[in-house]
Amino acid sequence: MSFTKYCTTCGEELIRIPVPAEKAKVLDYGFGDCAYFPLGSKFDKHTGLRQFGIRVKCPNKKWYNRHTDYID
pLDDT in tens, 12-26: 999 999 999 888 888
User: Are 9 and 31 spatial neighbours (Cβ–Cβ below 8 Å)?
Assistant: no
Residue 58 pLDDT: 94
Residue 6 pLDDT: 92
Q: Mean pLDDT for the chain?
A: 87
Integer angstrom CA distances of residue 24 from 1, 9, 12, 39, 61: 29, 23, 23, 6, 17
Residue 2 pLDDT: 60
Measured between alpha carbons, how far is 59 from 35 in angstroms, rounded to an integer?
26
Integer angstrom CA distances of residue 41 from 30, 31, 51, 70: 22, 25, 7, 19
pLDDT tens for residues 52-69?
A: 989 999 999 998 998 988
Torsion, CA 62, CA 68, CA 71, CA 72, rounded to 10: -150
Residue 17 pLDDT: 92
Q: Given a cut of 60, is residue 1 above it in pLDDT?
A: no
User: Are 2 and 14 spatial neighbours (Cβ–Cβ below 8 Å)?
Assistant: no
